[in-house]
């Protein structure tokens, strides 16, 4: 199946919504309703603070709000489903009432995903790529929610080549989605920067990103403030937004469609420059004799 990353692709989402991917890069704002996320833990642990942060992200240019209730950093304390749901469901319900913004739920639990879509979420974002609770694929199929399937290297034996491991893992995830009845138009993929990948592996994924288009799906990427960005720059998490924006521009030129970020404004500007350059490049190609 052929796929051209900059051509329009209509991503079908829950509640009859959709987003056009391809011609313009989109921003997903990270709203962690947690006390222990790696760079912003505790800032939005209160529901009112999380809603206010999400509304502020919309003002700064976010296209999607990603609401999560459990930290995914490697040494984070696990959270049970009841606690996760208590954190995020009031935030999702409030945002669904107060805004028309697209809402994503960051969870690997099928029941949390179902409740979040019922509360107003349009997208399910699974950091375990459907391979921890495969029933989450059935939730997407039954509700029509958009589905983001992320690659992870945690808790398994990886293929030695970092790109081949993407095909190995995500190929299985796509099979799970297809068997559950999820439509192609509902799916985007995420290469999982930072999830059981060292600095060299993350940099190789950036450098070889165009190879991933063989999977014939749009890509969401999340490099924001990740450890490999700090390894390159020597900066602490809260000081990594400029370098994050550099990866945003590089990955946009390589064909990524959606960018999951902490700082919306600086990445909006990086995307604006990358998209302007791509438009100029395409314009020159179109006018060649």
Cα→Cα distances 215→212, 276, 285, Å: 6, 26, 26
Name every residue whose Cβ is closer than 8 Å to that of residue 113 and which is 6 or more positions away in sequence. 105, 107, 121, 124, 126, 136, 139, 140, 145
The answer to whether residue 252 is catalytic is no
Of 109, 197, 217, 226, catalytic: 226
Annotate 133-160 with b (16+ C-beta within 10 A) or e (fewer). bbebbbbbbebbbbbbbbbbbeeeebee
Alpha carbons 53 and 108: distance in angstroms, whole number: 23
Helices assigned H by DSSP within 18-65:
47-60
Biggest alpha carbon–alpha carbon distance for the chain = 63
Query: Is residue 31 a contact partner of residue 67, using CB atoms and an 8 Å limit?
Result: yes
Alpha carbons 103 and 90: distance in angstroms, whole number: 13
Strands (E), the chain: 9-12, 18-21, 26-32, 64-68, 102-106, 123-126, 146-150, 187-190, 220-221, 258-261
Of 217, 227, 260, 268, catalytic: 260
The answer to whether residue 197 is catalytic is no
Pairing of strands 102-106, 123-126: parallel
Give me the active site residues, please.
226, 260
């Amino acid at each position: 199946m052929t796929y051209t990353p900059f051509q329009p692709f209509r991503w079908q989402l829950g509640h009859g919504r959709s987003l056009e991917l391809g011609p313009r890069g989109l921003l997903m704002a990270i709203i962690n309703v947690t006390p222990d996320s790696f760079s912003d833990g505790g800032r939005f642990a209160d529901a009112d603070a999380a809603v206010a942060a999400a509304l502020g992200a919309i003002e700064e240019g976010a296209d999607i709000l990603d609401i999560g209730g459990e930290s995914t950093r490697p040494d984070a304390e696990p959270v049970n489903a009841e606690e996760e749901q208590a954190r995020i469901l009031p935030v999702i319900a409030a945002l669904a009432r107060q805004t028309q913004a697209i809402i994503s739920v960051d969870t690997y639990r099928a029941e949390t995903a179902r409740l979040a879509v019922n509360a107003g979420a349009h997208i399910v974002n699974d950091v375990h790529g459907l391979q921890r609770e495969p029933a989450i694929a059935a939730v997407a199929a039954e509700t029509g929610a958009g589905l983001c399937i992320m690659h992870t290297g945690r808790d398994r034996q990886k293929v030695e080549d970092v790109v081949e491991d993407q095909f190995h893992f995500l190929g299985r995830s796509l099979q799970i989605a297809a068997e559950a009845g999820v439509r192609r138009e509902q799916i985007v993929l995420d290469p999982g920067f930072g999830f059981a990948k060292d600095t060299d592996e993350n940099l190789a994924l950036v450098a070889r990103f165009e190879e991933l288009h063989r999977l014939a799906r749009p890509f969401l990427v999340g490099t924001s403030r990740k450890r490999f960005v700090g390894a390159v720059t020597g900066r602490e998490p809260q000081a990594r937004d400029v370098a994050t924006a550099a990866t945003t521009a590089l990955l946009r030129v390589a064909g990524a469609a959606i960018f999951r970020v902490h700082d919306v404004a600086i990445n909006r500007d990086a995307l604006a420059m990358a998209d302007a350059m791509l438009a100029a490049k395409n314009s020159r190609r179109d006018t060649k004799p």
